[in-house]
Structure 1
Amino acid sequence: MVKRLGQLGNRLFTFAHVIANSIENGYSVINPNLDQYASYFECSSTNNFNGYPISVRLFKSTLFNKVTLPLDKKIIFNLASSFTNTFIKNSSIKFITDQDNDYEMNSPHFIENAKNKTVIAHGWLFRDKKNFNKHADTLRKLFKPIELHRTNVNNLIHTCRKECEILIGVHMRKGDYATFRGGEYYYDTTTYVSKLLNIKELLESRYNKISFLICSNEPVDVEAFTTKGLTVHLGTNHFIEDLYSLAECDYIIGPPSSYSTWASFYGNKPICILRNKEQLIKLEDFEVYLYKGY
């Protein structure tokens, strides 16, 4: 994989799809594009993926890996692809791009090349629509955070659950969402308060003590929630710990984001995607994320 794939959620999903396809079809994978996130996960931090032929390092030398980290791999891909296609016939190297659309890795073309050649893949939408769900449990094991972050997550969740019967994870994504798609999914605090009250109303006939764990990339006005009778906790504000804390909640809610959908997938917990400010939340809107092509 030779293209940096946006932020953490996108990179995890793409890598997971590639791994699922490689396990199913028996070829090796090198993905250096987890780069700055690799140290946060047990397998990628040690480059030991439980015996699978998977690596996040291009070179054995740590120095070489650090030197190549900032390089623009898109430029390298285009130059190398052009050179190979122009001057080298019947090359053992195959360059494949997703062209910014879902690329079905189970196509005979891809599988044949992956098994018999060195495939250099460029893109963030390589997908295995059949085997992602099949190998879901293995993928969860391969992307377990390191012990430090697991401990911090466990401590936070333990604190939250001491005073509730059910815990709702809230991905309150702001920051970059102010400009993403013209701010379509950038919801103000008032909107989140109303949605949490909506959820509380749905659940209070079943549970006496309902708490919310809010994880955000901006400061949270806790008083705006508590004055409305909502019991809230805040995440640790570490992006790995917030992600895996959401995965430990009973339900998850948030705007469309690969970050919170990864939490749903990893924790096997139902998520409700908040697609607009006027959305009335229903319990049937919550479902565990598994790959459906979106």
Structure 2
Amino acid sequence: MVSGIPVITMSTLGSNGRFGNQLFQYAFLKIYGKRHQLQVETPPWIGQYLFGHQDPPITRQLPMIQQNSYRLDLDHIAKSQIPFKNVDFWGYFQYHTSYYAPEKDYFRSLFKPVPAIEFRMRKVFNRLRAKGKTLVGLHLRRGDYGTYGPHSNFFIAPSEWYKEWLRGFWGTLDKPVLFIASDEPDKVLGDFSEFHPVTSNDVCGCFPEASFYPDFYVLSHCDHVAISNSSFSFAASMLNERGKLFVRPYPLESKLIPFEPWNSEVLIRTPETIL
């Protein structure tokens, strides 16, 4: 604690979920601290390397306050009129993005890469742009997701849904380039051969510090984006300032549907899976 300012921490930041989860956790922590004039302390996490964050380290163990719902009207943290102070938050904080929308610019500022990484990623993006004019990005999550099912948050949307969407407007685009981000590209690239897809492996050198980040960066700069039911590509959509269209898989209709990154649920959930 500095000069008597109350503190909030998240001791599990960096270990509770992957990159997309960590972005929402950090954004929640910083925005909550900003709204209520609280000091933020964090453990080491990948955002310090990518985005240059230099929050003070956690200085002491604080009582844990756990998120109990993704719904703004049910979660005791989100709906509390009295801010929590001197606590350690635990949760994923993937609320309906209307919660974060008033701080859209601040949210985006939190995840701007440091100049050295921006320079490397810009070179990757320019190589993609050299292949055409309109960049269409797909995020196809496979390896750590379960099988398709209407009652699972982590369903695998079939490639056919994405191909149907692409065929519906591909011919109207000016020199389109298809970019595919996937944890298992070898399993999906063949499905899209008619569109001659490109991956980060085709345009990016080795990035061992955060091998997932080139995919994330490109998705956050595409002209049209089709995501998985994943916080990774949803967060990239929130950071995307040039995107004209964002779509996501909707299992109850077996197709992709449009969504607004700053006015939507992060994950499509069914009543069986809502906390």
**Residue 216 of structure 1 aligns with which residue?**
182
Counterpart Cα distance in 2 of 1:97 and 1:146:
31
Q: Judging changes above 3 Å, is the alpha-carbon distance between structure 1 residues 56 and 175 closer, same or farther for their aligned structure 2 residues?
A: farther
Note the C-alpha offset of 1:137.
Answer: 1.0
Aligned-pair RMSD on alpha carbons?
Answer: 3.1
- The one-letter amino acid of 2:221's match is E
Distance, in Å, in 1 between the alignment partners of 2:248 and 2:136 is: 13
The structure with the largest alpha-carbon Rg is 1
Query: Hey, what's the Cα distance between the residues in 2 that align with 1:263 and 1:137?
Result: 14
Paired residue for 2:28? 17
Residue 197 (structure 1) shift: 3.2
Paired with 2:96 and 2:146, the residues of 1 have a C-alpha distance of 32
Query: 1:1-294 counterparts in 2 under 5 A?
Result: 1-3=10-12, 4-32=15-43, 35-44=44-53, 47=54, 55=55, 57-58=57-58, 95-99=64-68, 101-102=70-71, 103=75, 104-105=77-78, 107-109=80-82, 111=83, 113-114=84-85, 118-125=86-93, 132-178=100-146, 185-187=155-157, 191-192=158-159, 194-220=160-186, 222-226=189-193, 229-236=194-201, 238-268=211-241, 269=243, 270-276=245-251, 279-281=254-256, 285-294=257-266
**CA separation of 1:293 and 1:201: change in aligned 2, threshold 3 A:** closer
Aligned residues: 238
* Partner amino acid, structure 1, of 2:199: L
Q: Distance in 1 between matches of 2:162 and 2:117?
A: 27
CA offset digits 1:102-129 (Å, max 9, x no partner) = 53435123x1x42xxx122233338596
Runs of 4+ in 1 over 4 A off after TM superposition: 126-131, 179-184
C-alpha distance in 1 between matches for 2:220 and 2:108: 11
Structure 1: give runs of 5+ residues left out of the alignment: 48-54, 60-75, 81-92
* 100 and 179 in structure 1: CA distance in 2 versus 1, 3 angstrom threshold: farther
Q: Which amino acid aligns with 2:118?
A: R
For 1:195 and 1:130, locate their aligned partners in 2 and report how far apart those are by CA, in whole Å. Answer: 28
Paired amino acid for 1:232: P
TM-score (ref. length: structure 1): 0.69
Equivalent position SS for 1:175: coil
Report the CA distance between 1:289 and its aligned residue. Answer: 0.8
Assess if the C-alpha contact under 8 Å between 2:28 and 2:93 holds in 1: no
Q: Secondary structure at the match of 1:152?
A: helix
